[in-house]
């Protein structure tokens, strides 16, 4: 069972470069989320989606864009990476509102 798969697992970017993180889930979940995790800050919600073709801002959306063109995929884009975006990024999905969330293994991103 694949569950939630994140690609890539590690990445090093130079300041100003762009990249896209891919999240794929095979559970037919409606909701998908992107979080970043920094020491002492817990998990902070960047963007989320409540269904195919929809996206919404979370707590810390600045500097990120997302797209949900297909139900199973949720893409997180960094247009111009900054050192402050160095973090571990987690994708998650859930069947709907107020249901259990399933997390991917995380992507460790370093911006130098």
Partner 1 sequence: GQQVMQIPQYQHVQEGEDFTTYCNSSTTLSNIQWYKQRPGGHPVFLIQLVKSGEVKKQKRLTFQFGEAKKNSSLHITATQTTDVGTYFCAAYAYSGGGADGLTFGKGTHLIIQP
CB of 20 to partner 1, least distance (A): 20
Question: Which of positions 1-30 make contact with partner 1 (CB under 8 A)?
Answer: none
Rounded Cα–Cα distance for residues 91 and 107 (Å) = 9
With CB under 8 A, what is the number of residues at the site for partner 1?
A: 27
Which one of 12, 20, 27, 59 is in contact with partner 1 (CB under 8 A)? 59
Q: Is residue 102 part of the contact set for partner 1 (CB under 8 A)? A: yes
Rounded Cα–Cα distance for residues 48 and 46 (Å) = 7
> DSSP letter string over the chain?
---EEEE-SEEEE-TT--EEEEEEESS--SEEEEEEEETTTEEEEEEEESSTT--EE-SS-TT-EEE-SSTTEEEEEESS--GGG-EEEEEEEESSTTS--EE---EEEEE-
Q: Is residue 105 part of the contact set for partner 1 (CB under 8 A)? A: yes
Q: Is residue 89 part of the contact set for partner 1 (CB under 8 A)? A: no
Nearer to partner 1, 16 or 51 (CB): 51
Which one of 58, 63, 77, 95 is in contact with partner 1 (CB under 8 A)? 58
CB of 4 to partner 1, least distance (A): 9
């Amino acid at each position: 069972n694949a569950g939630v798969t994140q690609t890539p697992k590690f990445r090093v970017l130079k300041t100003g470069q762009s990249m896209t993180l891919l999240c794929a889930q095979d559970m037919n979940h409606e909701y998908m989320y992107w979080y970043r995790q920094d020491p002492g800050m817990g998990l902070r919600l960047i963007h989320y989606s409540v269904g195919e073709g929809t996206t919404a801002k979370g707590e810390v959306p600045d500097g990120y864009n997302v797209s949900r063109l297909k139900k199973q995929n949720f893409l997180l884009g960094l247009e111009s990476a900054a050192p402050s975006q160095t973090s571990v990024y987690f994708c998650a999905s859930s069947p709907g509102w107020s249901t259990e969330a399933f997390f991917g293994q995380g992507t460790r991103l370093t911006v130098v």
